[in-house]
Structure 1
Amino acid sequence: MSARDVKVAVIPEFARPVVDQISAAGIYPAWTLTPAEWIVVHALIKRSGEDMLAAAAVQAAQRARTGVAHARYFVRAWQALPPAPEPGTVPAAPAAPGRGSNVLPFPSVGAAADRPGRAAQAAGWYADLLAEEQ
Structure 2
Amino acid sequence: MSEGAYAPASLTDPIPPFARPLVDKITAADVFVGWDLTAGEWLRLDAMLKRSGVDMLARHAVTLAGRQTVSSARYFLRAWTSLPPAPTAGTVPAAPTAGPSADVIRLDPSQPRRGRVAQSTDHLAAALAAMEAQQ
Normalising by structure 2, we get a TM-score of 0.67
* 1:61-107 residue CA offsets vs partner (Å, 9 max, x unmatched): 0112xx1100001001100000000011111233612xxxxxx4445
5+ residue gaps, structure 1, are 1-7, 98-103, 123-134
Larger radius of gyration: 2
In the alignment, structure 1 residue 32 sits paired with structure 2 residue 32: no
Mapping for residues 1-16 of structure 1, pairs under 5 Å: 10-16=14-20
5+ residue gaps, structure 2, are 1-7, 116-135
Give the counterpart letter for 1:81 in structure 2: L
In the alignment, structure 1 residue 114 sits paired with structure 2 residue 110: yes
* 1:35-85 residue CA offsets vs partner (Å, 9 max, x unmatched): 000000000000000000000000010112xx1100001001100000000
Q: How many residues align?
A: 101
- Deviation >3 Å, runs of 4+: 104-107
Q: How many percent of aligned residue pairs carry the same amino acid?
A: 51
Distance 1:105 1:25, change over 3 A: farther
Mapping for residues 1-134 of structure 1, pairs under 5 Å: 10-64=14-68, 67-93=69-95, 94=97, 96-97=102-103, 104-107=104-107, 112-116=108-112, 118=113
1:114 Cα deviation from its structure 2 partner: 2.5
Give the counterpart letter for 2:111 in structure 1: R
Q: Using the alignment, how far apart are the partners of 2:58 and 2:15 within structure 1?
A: 15
Q: CA RMSD in A?
A: 2.1
